[in-house]
Chain A
Amino acid sequence: MNNLSNNALYHYLIGMADDALVLGQRTSEWCSRGPFLEEDIALSNVALDYVGRARMFYQYAADVEGLGRTEDELAYFRDEREFTNLLINELPNFDFAFSMVRQYFLDVNACLYLEKLSLSSDQHLSEIAAKAVKESRYHLKRSRTWLVQLGQGTEESNRRMQSAIDELWGYTPEMFIMTEAEASLLATQVSVDRKDLQQQWSATVTADVQEANLQIPDQQWQVVGGRDGDHSEHLGHLLAHMQILQRSYPGLEW
């Protein structure tokens, strides 16, 4: 890596890539486990979008790093302490309500974030964002529909959705924390100021949650640390699964 701004860009890209890969891996766990076949297929589509997004960010990160590493080396040969994804992305699926509420919270943010990132002064980043934001708009349409349908559905579905909101709420503030790398890339308009998005995110989520006959929790709490490699215990298991073949037989073509 030849200079400080490249170093910041690399760390920024790795965070974005890890976010996408970890959520893609989680979402792919729904394949053959969806509540009905059509939804199973749709969830696999969302997972595919995220793994595809991860590849674009890793490939770019590898270019920026300039050490000849590949997307797979970045995905398969880093440990959990080196992964810098948001904690909310690594939490297990628990139930369909949990996955859908998580997806909804992330989709609202992704649409706001990627729209801004598509105006990045970094042309490659802006191209990735322009592609990804189209996917995220579609994901949001789906996850918002689920939020409303399940919130308004039965007593049980309402209870499960409320419980998912309560359990996930404290993981949402991390979406708006700027890393050092991100902050340093703001001046050149490469990155996006996450803090600027928080108010609009809250307003949108509050309105949608109300429409779904659900409540925003009164109690404010937050767990953070993913961007610094301080993860939950869940990530290690996810990576152990994902990395097993590459780690067992390093350096082979598959």
Chain B
Amino acid sequence: MSDSEQAVFDRRIEAEQKIEPKDWMPADYRKNLIRQMSQHAHSEVIGMQPEGNWISRAPSLKRKMVLLAKVQDEGGHGLYLYSATETLNVTRDEMNEALHSGKAKYASIFNYPALSWADVGAIGWLVDGAAIVNQISLQGTSYGPYSRAMIRICKEESFHQRQGYEIMVVLAKGTAMQKAMAQDALNRIWWPSLMMFGPHDSESAHSGRSMQWKIKRRTNDDLRQSFIDQTVPQIKFLGLELPDPDIKWNEQRGHYDSGEIDWDEFKRVISGDGPCNRDRLRHHKKADGDGQWVRDALHAYHSKKDAVSAA
């Protein structure tokens, strides 16, 4: 029996048909999806913190509104993704618990601090830019709810990236101090942005299965290359210095070559030794803990109402 279910599943993957929540799926496919989708959801939510750090200090009322709306959108993306993940029979509470215990990860980029206003620009431009490259490919992912969430999210992300880049354009055209602020943000955020695509294909623990199941559609290195190719001309347009002296156009490959990522730093930050790992989790746990009485009260209120209407 399970053989034929497996065969149906395999045929559907082969034929590029979406797998839907009620369809049979291999246990590992489900597990792999929960890992990737919840990590994606947590990334959106933890990602609210570094930019949220500048809402109170945004340098104009217009920038304050755009940033607030943007961070709010990230929360919304987290919400779609949690909902999409819930279709795999896992609850928000379970996902939250896995985040707090460290069992579930989030994008390591958010373990870096947003130190200046230019970081808000650079995060929108580079971090959202890298996320879009990845998410565009995930629109074609084999799991239906994930694919639909990605289609919706990509529309908003490209607006985010434009607002980030626009902050950088203003700074790069501004005073020497502003230009230096923009350069410093680019230099710091460039490498962690490249790390967002994950380890080299040869080192990636989950890539093989995920590609086979069409959860992932393009490899880490392939996506990273696309990001570099699209971003280098944008750096040049800003008139900023390239953050990596090894970036050079390679005529033969038709791509930019670039220097090697510091994979020791990547591992250090993922395993907990980034500048903000502890802050990010503490912040999330505190909000969660502070809100417990509110959630309890809501639950109690609705239970009482239900009891009254049942009586």
Contacts and interface: CB of A to CB of B under 8 A. Distances in A.
Do A and B share a complex?
yes
Interface of A: 21, 25, 28-29, 31-41, 44-45, 47-48, 51-52, 54-55, 58, 71-72, 75-76, 95-96, 148-150, 152-154, 156-157, 160, 241-242, 244-246, 249, 252-254
A254 B82 CA distance: 35
Contact of A246 (B59, B78, B293, B301): B59
Nearest to A148: B301
Nearest to A242: B56
A48 B293 CA distance: 26
B59 A245 contact: yes
B56 A157 contact: no
Nearest to A25: B56
A44 B45 CA distance: 14
B294 A96 contact: yes
Contacts of B75: 31-32, 37, 40-41, 44
Given A44-B71, A52-B65, A249-B178, 10 more contacts: A28-B68, A32-B71, A33-B286, A36-B294, A39-B291, A41-B79, A96-B291, A241-B57, A245-B57, A246-B60
A75 B61 contact: yes
Interface in B8-53: 45, 48-49, 52
Interface in B79-128: 79, 82, 117
B298 interface: yes
Interface of A is mostly: helix
Return the 9 tightest CB-CB contacts between A and B, nearest first.
A35-B291, A153-B297, A157-B297, A35-B294, A254-B59, A44-B72, A245-B59, A32-B48, A149-B301
Given A72-B60, A149-B301, A156-B293, A31 B55 contact: yes
Nearest to B82: A37
Contact of B71 (A31, A54, A245): A31
Given A25-B56, A31-B72, A96-B290, A36 B174 contact: no
Nearest to B69: A48
Contacts of A95: 290
Interface-central residue, B283, B296, B304, by most chain A CB under 10 Å: B296
B300 interface: yes
A38 B79 contact: yes
Interface residues of B, number: 47
Given A31-B55, A72-B61, A252-B174, A45 B293 contact: no
Contact of B297 (A44, A52, A149, A246): A149
B57 A153 contact: no
Nearest to A72: B60
Nearest to B60: A72
B1 interface: no
B177 interface: yes
B249 to A, nearest CB: 33
B232 interface: no
Nearest to B61: A55
Nearest to A160: B293
Nearest to A158: B297
A150 B63 CA distance: 34
Contacts of A157: 293-294, 296-297, 300
A253 B177 contact: no
B181 to A, nearest CB: 10
Contact of B290 (A21, A35, A41, A154): A35
B170 interface: yes
Interface string B170-199: 110011011000000000000000000000
Contact of B56 (A28, A71, A254): A28
A40 B55 CA distance: 14
Contact of B61 (A58, A152, A154, A156): A58
29 contacts: A31-B48, A31-B68, A31-B71, A32-B49, A33-B283, A33-B290, A38-B79, A41-B76, A44-B72, A45-B72, A47-B68, A48-B68, A51-B64, A52-B65, A58-B61, A71-B61, A72-B60, A76-B60, A96-B294, A154-B300, A241-B56, A242-B57, A245-B57, A245-B117, A249-B177, A249-B178, A252-B175, A253-B170, A254-B167
A13 to B, nearest CB: 15
Contacts of B69: 44, 48
Contacts of B79: 37-38, 41
A176 B178 CA distance: 45
Contacts of A252: 174-175, 178
Contacts of B236: none
A41 B72 CA distance: 6
Contacts of A242: 56-57
